[in-house]
């Protein structure tokens, strides 16, 4: 049985690819056009989408990657509003599992969220990201061990070629996408906004497990 996941604030589809790899049919929404998004895509405001109850209830689960620029050190100047809080309030009105992904500094529930790291999946980046599950959903994370490699913050191409990790900030060159993020279809700006598909494959497999258990019990 194919499950459907609503991918809000989809960007160019890093999160989407992981859910697709876990077996979900993915439908993405973003405020900007995203011609590189690899699945069904619609342009629009994700908060407005969450107000459309009949539409949202055609899905089995929701993923939300609200913009992080208002929370992240170094991008605070962008004056981005907090969409996590109103987004969570709307998501709480749905009787389906959901996940909010964001940067470490974001106002997510620290006691209930898990942190994923690129090294957990053999990627050449650290890129810590937090995932807050809906109430009733518990996520597990692999053990977070001491980082094995250093990250290049200058002379990035040269240092990358010497075996350093990339941080994927700014307009990183796409040369680092496949090994660093598991992504080969994005622009540099898309990469700088994305999460590695391995993260959402890992979370998506746990969602599939929960949804399957629920349908067997019903
Ligand atoms: C961190 S990026 C998402 C990255 C994506 N999850 C990935 O892994 O590739 C956040 C996205 O939110 C979009 N966005 C910002 N405000 C939005 C809104 N109100 N509704 C929908 N999308 C929005 C931005 O255009 C941006 O693409």
Instruction: Report how many domains make up the chain.
Output: 1
119-152 confidence digits (pLDDT tens): 999 999 999 999 999 999 999 999 999 999 999 9
Residue-by-residue DSSP string for 21-36: HTTEEEEEEESS--TT
What DSSP character marks residue 38? -
Cα-to-centroid distance, 147 and ligand 1 (Å): 28
Domain that holds residue 15: 3-142+197-217
Residue 190 lies in a domain: no
Quote the ligand 1 centre to 194 CA distance (angstroms): 9
Burial label for 92, CB within 10 Å (0-12, 13-18, 19+), is exposed
Nearest CA to ligand 1 atom 13: 9
CATH number at 30 reads 3.40.50.150
Is the CB of residue 30 below 6 angstroms from any atom belonging to ligand 1? Answer: yes
Write the DSSP symbol of residue 17.
H
| Tens digit of pLDDT at every position of the chain (218 positions) | 899 999 999 999 999 999 999 999 999 999 999 999 999 999 999 999 999 999 999 999 999 999 987 787 665 555 678 999 999 999 999 999 999 999 999 999 999 999 999 999 999 999 999 999 999 999 999 999 999 999 998 898 999 999 999 999 887 889 999 999 999 999 999 999 999 999 999 999 999 999 999 888 87
Distances (CA, A) of 102 to 83, 106, 133, 143: 11, 6, 12, 19
Cα 54 to ligand 1 centroid, rounded to whole Å = 22
- Give the ligand 1 atom nearest the CA of 32: 25
How far is the centre of ligand 1, averaged over its atoms, from the C-alpha of 30 (Å)?
A: 6
pLDDT of residue 52: 98
Distance 32 CA to ligand 1 centre (A): 8
On whether residue 186 sits in a domain, the answer given is: no
Nearest CA to ligand 1 atom 10: 67
Residue 169 is assigned to a structural domain of this protein = no
Residue 35 near residue 217, CB atoms below 8 Å: no
Q: Specify whether the CB–CB gap between 61 and 207 falls below 8 A.
A: yes
Find the helix packing angle between 14-21 and 197-217, rounded to 10°: 50
| Domain assignment present for 176 | no
10, part of any domain: yes
Supply the pLDDT for residue 1.
81
Q: Please indicate, yes or no, if residue 14 is contained in any of the structural domains.
A: yes
pLDDT at 73: 65
Residue to mutate, 5, 47, 64, 67, ligand 1, most ligand atoms under 8 Å from C-beta: 67
102 CB within 6 A, ligand 1: no
Q: Per the domain annotation, does 181 fall within a domain?
A: no
Closest C-alpha among 17, 197, 10 to residue 122: 197
DSSP 48-105: HHHH-HHHHTTSSEEEE----TTTSTT-GGG-----HHHHHHHHTTSSS-EEEEE-TT
Q: Which two tokens stand for residue 35?
A: 């011609």
How far apart are the C-alpha atoms of 108 and 67, rounded to whole Å?
A: 13
Q: What is the largest CA-CA distance in the chain?
A: 56
Q: What is the DSSP letter of 116?
A: E
Instruction: Confirm or reject: Cβ of 211 under 6 Å from ligand 1.
Output: no
Within a domain: 79: yes
Spatial neighbors of 95 by CB under 8 A, at least 6 apart, are: none
């Amino acid at each position: 049985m194919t499950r459907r996941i609503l991918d809000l604030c989809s960007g160019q589809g890093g999160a989407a690819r992981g859910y697709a790899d876990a077996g979900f049919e993915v439908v993405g929404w973003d405020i900007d056009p995203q011609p590189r998004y690899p699945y069904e895509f619609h342009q629009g405001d994700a908060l407005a989408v969450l107000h459309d109850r009949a539409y949202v209830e055609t899905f089995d689960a929701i993923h939300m990657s609200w913009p992080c620029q208002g929370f992240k050190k170094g991008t605070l100047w962008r004056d981005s509003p907090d969409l996590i809080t109103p987004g969570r309030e709307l998501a709480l009105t749905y009787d389906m599992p959901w996940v909010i992904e964001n940067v470490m500094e974001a106002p997510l529930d620290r006691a209930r969220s898990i942190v994923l790291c690129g090294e957990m999946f053999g990627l050449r980046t650290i890129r810590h990201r937090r995932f807050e599950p809906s109430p009733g959903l518990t996520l597990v994370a692999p053990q977070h061990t001491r980082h094995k490699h250093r990250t290049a913050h200058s002379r990035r191409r040269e240092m990358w070629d010497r075996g350093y990790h990339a941080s994927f900030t700014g307009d990183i060159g796409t040369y680092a996408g496949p090994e660093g993020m598991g992504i080969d279809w994005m622009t540099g700006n898309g990469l700088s906004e994305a999460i590695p598909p391995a993260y959402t494959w890992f979370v998506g497999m746990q969602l599939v497990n929960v949804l399957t258990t629920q349908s067997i019990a019903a």
